Structure 1
Amino acid sequence: MNNDVNVLRQSPIFNDLKSGRAPDVPFVVNNVSYKRGYYLTDGIYPQWSVLIKSIKNSGMNDHKRILYKTKHEAARKYVERAFGVLKQKWKIIKYPARGMTRSGLSDIMYTCLILHNIIIHDNGNAISPEFFPEEQHRDDDPVRTHQESMQVTQEIIDGTTHLSLKADLVKHLWNNAN
Structure 2
Amino acid sequence: MTIADAQYRFIAVDIGAYGRTNDYRVFKTSAMGRRIYAGEMGLPEPRAFPGTDGPPMPFVFIGDKAFQMCANLLKPYSSRGLDHRQRIYNYRLSHARRYVECAFGILTAKWRIFTRPMQLSPEFADEVVKASVVLHNFLLTKEPLNTDPEEVETTLPGLQQLPRRSTLAVMRIGDDYFLMEAGRVPWQDWMV
Bin of the TM-score, shorter chain as denominator length: 0.5 to 0.7
Q: Does 1:44 align with 2:86?
A: no
Q: Does 1:123 align with 2:148?
A: yes
Residue 69 (structure 1) shift: 0.9
Show structure 2 runs of 5+ residues with no match: 1-17, 49-53, 156-160, 186-192
Show structure 1 runs of 5+ residues with no match: 129-154
More helix by percentage: 1
Q: Does 1:111 align with 2:116?
A: no
- In 2: Cα distance, 1:157 partner to 1:100 partner: 39
After the TM superposition, which residues 1-178 of structure 1 pair with which residues of structure 2 at under 5 Å, given as runs? 7-14=26-33, 22-27=41-46, 31=55, 34=58, 37-57=59-79, 59=81, 62-91=83-112, 95=118, 97-99=125-127, 107-114=134-141, 118=144, 120-121=145-146, 123-124=148-149, 125=152, 158-160=164-166, 162-176=167-181, 177=184
Q: Tell me if the contact between 2:108 and 2:114 (Cα under 8 Å) persists in the aligned partners.
A: yes
- In 2: Cα distance, 1:19 partner to 1:27 partner: 14
- In 1: Cα distance, 2:162 partner to 2:128 partner: 28
Residue 32 (structure 1) shift: 7.6
TM-score normalised to structure 2 length: 0.52
- In 1: Cα distance, 2:26 partner to 2:135 partner: 23
- In 1: Cα distance, 2:73 partner to 2:65 partner: 10
Identity %: 17
TM-score normalised to structure 1 length: 0.55
Q: What is the total number of aligned residue pairs between the two structures?
A: 143
- In 2: Cα distance, 1:65 partner to 1:27 partner: 24
